[in-house]
Amino acid sequence: MTTPIVRFDCVNKWFGEHHVLRDITLDIQRGERVVICGPSGSGKSTLLRCINRLEAHQQGRIEVGGIALRDDIQAIEHVRRQVGMVFQQFNLFPHLSVLDNLTLSPMWVGKVPAATARAQAMAQLERVHIADQAHKFPLQLSGGQQQRVAIARALCMEPQILLFDEPTSALDPEMVQEVLDVMTTLAQQGTTMVCVTHEMGFARSVADRIVFMDEGQIVEQATPQQFFEQAQHPRTRAFVQKIRHA
C-alpha cells in the first residue's frame, strides 16, 4: 500500500465547547476521488478545511503529502501550495479581470514570470471551457461561469489535491450541471479530489469512495454502490432513504 497523500489520525477539533470533529481517522490515496456527505452541521466542511489548515485541529495528527500540519508556518505554506480549494462562494476579486484573478497567486506566491503565468492561466481557462471570458470582469459572468473561473484559479497553482466545499450550493439550479461537468472531467484526468457536496448523482458517478459523517464522526465509508444499495449503518440507511425521496 502506498503512503496516503492525506492522513487523519484520531483528529479532534472543538469550536469553544462544541466538539465538531470526533476521533477522525481517514486516509486518502493519491488520485482518489472522495466525496464527503452527511446532514448539515455534521463536520464535513470543517474536516475539509483542516486539510489546508484553514482550521486548526486540537488533538491528533494530520499529514498532507507526508508533512505534518502543526503550528509551523513554513510547513503550512508548503502544504497550501500543494492544495487547491474551491469554496461555495467564488471569492474572485471583482475589480480584476478573469485573467488577472488567475495570475495573481502564481506571480506573487509562486514567483512565476508574468508571461508564463498568463499562458498557464489561459490553459486552465481552456480546461474549464471558459477561455473566451478571460478579459471580462467576474460580475459580467454567470454564477456557473464564475465558479468555473474559481476552479481554473485553483488549478493554476498546479495542486496535487483539489478540495471542493459544496461548490454548487450557491448556484441557480440551471448552472449546477456545467460546474459538475467540469469537476467530472477533472476526476477522469486522475486529479486527487476531496469534495463536500449534496449532489448525490455526482457522488454516485464520480467518487471512488463516499464518506458519510454525522455529529462530527465518520459513520461509514463505502464505494458508491455499497453506499446507495447496501449501507451498513442505520444512520447511513436513513440518510440514503431520505435523499431518495427528496
For 6-17, the pLDDT digits (tens) are 999 999 999 999
List Cβ neighbours of 29 (8 Å cut-off, separation of 6 or more). 2, 4, 5, 192
In the structure grid, which three cell numbers stand for residue 174, read together?
440551471
In the structure grid, which three cell numbers stand for residue 167, read together?
461548490
**Angle 3-110-186 from CA coordinates, rounded to 5°:** 55
Q: Distances from the Cα of 146 to the Cαs of 74, 86, 87, in angstroms?
A: 31, 11, 11
Rounded to whole angstroms, the Cα distance separating 232 from 246 reads 21
What's the confidence (pLDDT) of residue 244? Answer: 75
Q: Please name the amino acid found at residue 70.
A: R
- In the three-class reduction of DSSP (H, G, I as helix; E, B as strand; rest coil), residue 66 is classed as coil
**Domain boundaries along the sequence of the chain:** 6-244
Question: In this predicted model, which residue has the larger pLDDT, 72 or 245?
Answer: 72
Rounded to whole angstroms, the Cα distance separating 36 from 213 reads 7
Rounded to whole angstroms, the Cα distance separating 165 from 156 reads 18
Q: Distances from the Cα of 12 to the Cαs of 60, 61, 67, in angstroms?
A: 6, 9, 18
Beta bridge partners of 100: none
List Cβ neighbours of 209 (8 Å cut-off, separation of 6 or more). 32, 33, 34, 35, 221, 222, 223
Confidence band of 193 (pLDDT split at 50, 70, 90)? very high
Rounded to whole angstroms, the Cα distance separating 108 from 128 reads 23
| Sign of CA pseudo-dihedral 203, 128, 95, 174 | negative
Q: What is the mean pLDDT of residues 130-140?
A: 96
pLDDT surpassing 70 at residue 246: no
Rounded to whole angstroms, the Cα distance separating 21 from 11 reads 7
CATH fold group of domain 6-244? Rossmann fold (3.40.50)
List the helix and strand counts (H, then E) for the chain: 9, 10
- In the three-class reduction of DSSP (H, G, I as helix; E, B as strand; rest coil), residue 117 is classed as helix
Q: What is the mean pLDDT of residues 147-154?
A: 95
Rounded to whole angstroms, the Cα distance separating 54 from 45 reads 11
Placement of cell 450541471 in the chain = 177
pLDDT, tens digit (0-9, with 9 covering 90-100), for 82-129: 999 999 889 999 999 999 999 998 998 888 999 999 999 999 999 999
Alpha-carbon Rg for the chain, nearest whole angstrom, is 18
Rounded to whole angstroms, the Cα distance separating 116 from 183 reads 25
What's the confidence (pLDDT) of residue 1? Answer: 60
